[in-house]
């Protein structure tokens, strides 16, 4: 696998991870906004394990195309209600999740920037 192909594959993985963390951020914020709505059921996003499985299925000599990869959104703890009004949002859990997800997103963005710089170097032939 050429250096260009490897960097392109890394970029594809990073873009999929960005989509996953962005979706997770939207879901967490939605949970927080609806924390006082009776009957609201908190949702969560899963994508890391599925992304890891997809990456592992590709031979080293093929590029990884993850442009259509999408994270899974599901209800958190189906049937569980945090409060007597049927709402399942725990605001403390959501705030910690939002912080953790923000740190992941920042780390992935930094990796995208490094990958882009490497790609630019390869394209310039330096």
| Average pLDDT for 14-34 | 95
Q: What is the pLDDT of residue 75?
A: 93
Residue-by-residue DSSP string for the chain: --HHHHHHHHHHHHHHHHHHHHHHHHHHHHHHHTTTSTT---EEEE-HHHHHHHHHTS-TTS----TT---EEEESSTT--SSTTS----HHHHHHHHHHHHHHHHHHHHHHHHHHHHHHHHHHT-
- Each residue of 49-81: pLDDT tens digit? 888 887 776 655 455 668 788 899 999 887 777
Q: What is the pLDDT of residue 52?
A: 85
8 Å CB contact between 8 and 118: no
- Each residue of 85-94: pLDDT tens digit? 989 999 999 9
């Amino acid at each position: 696998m050429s250096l260009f192909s490897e960097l392109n594959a890394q970029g594809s993985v990073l873009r999929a991870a960005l989509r996953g963390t962005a979706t997770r951020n939207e879901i967490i914020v939605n949970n927080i906004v609806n924390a006082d709505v009776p009957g609201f059921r908190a949702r969560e996003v899963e994508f890391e394990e599925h992304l890891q499985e997809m990456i592992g299925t590709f031979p080293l000599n093929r590029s990884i195309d993850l442009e259509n990869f999408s994270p899974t959104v599901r209800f958190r703890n189906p049937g569980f209600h945090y409060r007597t009004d049927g709402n399942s949002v725990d605001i403390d859990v959501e705030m910690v999740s939002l912080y953790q997800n923000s740190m992941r997103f920042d780390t992935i963005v930094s990796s995208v920037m490094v990958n882009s710089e490497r790609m630019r170097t390869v394209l310039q032939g330096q």
